[in-house]
A and B are shown apart, each in its own frame.
Chain A
Amino acid sequence: MRPKRPGCTGTRRQFLLDTGMGFTGLALNAMLFRDGVAQASPSTQEVLSAWQTGEAKAKSVIWMFMIGGTSHVESFDPKPELTKYAGKSIDETPYREAADQGRINQILAEPGKEKREVFKKILPLIAGHRKHGQSGIEVSDLFPHIGGAVDDISFLRGMWTIDNNHGAQLTFHTGRKIGDTGHPTVGAWASYGLGTLNANLPEFVVLGEPSADCCGRSFTFGSAYLGPEYGGVRLKVDPKNPLSFVHPADPKLTLEEQREAFSLIGELNQLSGIDYPTDAELNARLKAYELAFQMQMAVPGIMDFSGEPEHVKRLYGLDRKECLAFGSQCLAARRLVEQGVRFVQLFHGYSGNAGRWDHHKDIARLMPPMCAEIDQPIAGLIHDLKQRGMLEETLVVWGTEFGRTPGAEFRDANVSGSGRDHHPHGFTCFMAGGGTKGGFVHGATDELGFHAVEGRQYVTDLHATVLHQLGLNHRMMHPGRQRLEQDFGNVIREILV
Chain B
Amino acid sequence: MPWKARIVPVQNPVPDSHSAVTRILLMLALGPGTVLATPANQKAAANHFEHFLPATLTKCDLCHLPSSNHAPESLEEFPHNAFGRELAGMGKKVALSDRLQQAGSRDSDGDGVANLAEILLGGHPGDARVKPDSLAQLGGREEALAAFLKRYPWQPFKPVTRPELPPSGVPHPIDVFINEQLAARDLKPLGEATAAQLARRIHVDLTGLQPTPAEVAAFTADHAVEPDAAVRRLADRLLADPRHGERWGRHFMDIWRYSDWEGYKGAVRLSQPHIWRWRDWIIESLNANKPYDRMVQEMLAGDELAPTDEDAVRATGYLARNFQSDRLQWMDNIVEHTSKAFMGLTMNCVKCHDHKYDPIPQTDYYAIRAVFEPYQVRTDPVPGQMDVAKDGLPRAYDKTLTAVTYLFQRGDERFPIKDKPVAPGVPALFGGDLKVKPVSLPLVAQQPEKSDHYKAAMLAAVESLADRELREMKRRTLEQQLELEALEDGGMNKKSADWQARAVKVAELQRQTALAEARAEKDRAEDALQKAMATKPLTTAVKKAIVTAKTNATAATKALAAAEEAMQSAVKATDYQPRKVTTYPATSSGRRLAFARWLTSPQNTLFARVAVNHLWIRHFGTGLVATPDDFGANGQKPTHPALLDWLAAEFMESGYDLRHMHRLILGSAVYRRAGASGPAVANDAVDPDNRWYWRAPVRRMEGEAVRDNLLHVAGLLDGTSGGPELASEAAETSRRRSIYHRHAQETQAELVQIFDGARPNECYQRERSIKPHQALALANSRVTLDASVALEARLAREVGTDDMVFVTAAFEHILNRPPSDAERRVSAGFLAKSGGDGLRRRQHFLGALFNHNDFITLR
A residues in contact (CB < 8 Å) with B: 1-3, 7-15, 19, 21-24, 43, 46, 49-50, 177-182, 199, 213-214, 217-219, 222, 224-225, 227-229, 243-250, 257-258, 260-262, 264-265, 267-269, 271-272, 274-279, 281-282, 284-286, 288-289, 291-296, 473, 475-476, 478, 482-485
Contacts and interface: CB of A to CB of B under 8 A. Distances in A.
Contact of B767 (A22, A178, A179, A478): A22
Given A225-B762, A261-B779, A245 B768 contact: no
Contacts of B140: none
A268 B770 contact: no
B684 interface: yes
B677 A50 contact: no
Contacts of A294: 772
A214 B746 CA distance: 12
B776 A296 contact: yes
Contact of B12 (A2, A180, A293): A2
Contact of A248 (B31, B773, B779): B779
B830 A264 contact: yes
Contact of A245 (B12, B780, B857): B780
Nearest to A8: B767
Contact of B776 (A219, A224, A227, A245): A245
B785 interface: yes
B853 A282 contact: yes
B689 A475 contact: no
Interface stretch (B482-490, B711-719, B818-826): B818-826
A1 B773 contact: no
Given A9-B765, A180-B326, A23 B771 contact: yes
B826 A267 contact: yes
Interface string B344-369: 00001001100000000000000000
Interface string B301-326: 00000000000000000000000111
A179 B333 CA distance: 14
Question: Top 6 A-B pairs ranked by shortest CB distance?
Answer: A22-B769, A1-B31, A292-B775, A249-B782, A291-B772, A11-B689
B269 interface: yes
Nearest to B751: A245
15 contacts: A12-B689, A13-B688, A179-B324, A214-B264, A225-B761, A227-B759, A245-B777, A248-B785, A249-B781, A289-B775, A289-B779, A295-B772, A295-B776, A473-B15, A475-B14
Nearest to B8: A2
B138 to A, nearest CB: 30
Contacts of B747: 218
Contacts of A276: 676-678, 698, 859
B700 interface: yes
A268 B848 contact: yes
Given A22-B756, A50-B30, A276-B698, 12 more contacts: A1-B35, A181-B262, A181-B745, A224-B761, A227-B759, A245-B777, A248-B780, A258-B779, A260-B830, A267-B826, A281-B700, A295-B776
Contacts of A46: 29
A281 B12 CA distance: 36
Given A9-B767, A249-B781, A49 B29 contact: yes
Contact of B822 (A271, A291, A296): A271
Nearest to A22: B769
A208 B412 CA distance: 39
A257 B837 CA distance: 12
B30 A278 contact: no
Interface in B823-859: 823, 826-827, 830, 833, 836, 840, 844-845, 847-849, 851-854, 857, 859
B270 interface: yes
A268 B776 contact: no
B577 to A, nearest CB: 35
A282 B768 CA distance: 12
B774 interface: yes
Nearest to B267: A214
Interface of B: 9, 11-15, 26, 29-32, 35, 39, 262, 264, 269-270, 324-326, 329, 348, 351-352, 621-622, 626-627, 634, 676-678, 684, 688-691, 697-698, 700, 732, 745-747, 750-751, 753-754, 756, 759, 761-762, 765, 767-777, 779-782, 784-786, 820, 822-823, 826-827, 830, 833, 836, 840, 844-845, 847-849, 851-854, 857, 859
A480 to B, nearest CB: 9
B761 A21 contact: no
A217 B753 CA distance: 18
Given A247-B780, A278-B684, A268 B826 contact: yes
B625 to A, nearest CB: 11
B342 to A, nearest CB: 19
B823 A292 contact: no
Contact of A21 (B324, B769, B854, B857): B769
A475 B780 contact: no
A43 B852 contact: no
Nearest to B349: A482
Contacts of A281: 698, 700, 768, 770, 853, 857
B769 A23 contact: yes
Nearest to A216: B746
Contacts of A11: 622, 626, 689-691
B326 A246 contact: no
Contacts of B751: 245
B770 A23 contact: yes
Contacts of A12: 621, 689-690, 697-698, 768
A8 B768 CA distance: 9
A218 B262 CA distance: 12
Between B756, B761, B848, the greatest number of chain A beta carbons within 10 A of the residue's beta carbon is seen for B848
B845 A22 contact: no
Given A225-B761, A268-B823, A475-B14, A213 B626 contact: no
Contacts of A179: 269, 324-326, 329
A288 B689 contact: no
Given A217-B746, A271-B822, A292 B773 contact: yes
Contacts of B9: 2
A352 B772 CA distance: 32
Nearest to A277: B678
A228 B773 CA distance: 12
A457 B775 CA distance: 43
A336 to B, nearest CB: 17
B272 to A, nearest CB: 15
Contacts of B847: 261
A256 B561 CA distance: 81
Contacts of B770: 21-23, 281, 284-285, 288
B759 A228 contact: yes
Nearest to B35: A1
A276 B695 CA distance: 12
A181 B784 contact: no
Contacts of A50: 26, 29-30
A476 B826 CA distance: 52
A288 B852 contact: no
Contacts of B622: 11
B12 to A, nearest CB: 6
Contacts of A243: 776
Given A181-B262, A271-B826, A476-B26, A229 B759 contact: no
A229 B14 contact: no
Contacts of A21: 769-770
A232 B771 CA distance: 15
A14 to B, nearest CB: 7
Contacts of A257: 836, 840, 844
Nearest to A487: B11
A19 B769 contact: yes
A7 B767 contact: yes
Between B15, B776, B845, B847, the greatest number of chain A beta carbons within 10 A of the residue's beta carbon is seen for B776
B772 A249 contact: no
Given A261-B848, A272-B854, A24 B745 contact: no
B13 A475 contact: yes
A165 to B, nearest CB: 11
Contact of A225 (B325, B688, B759, B773): B759
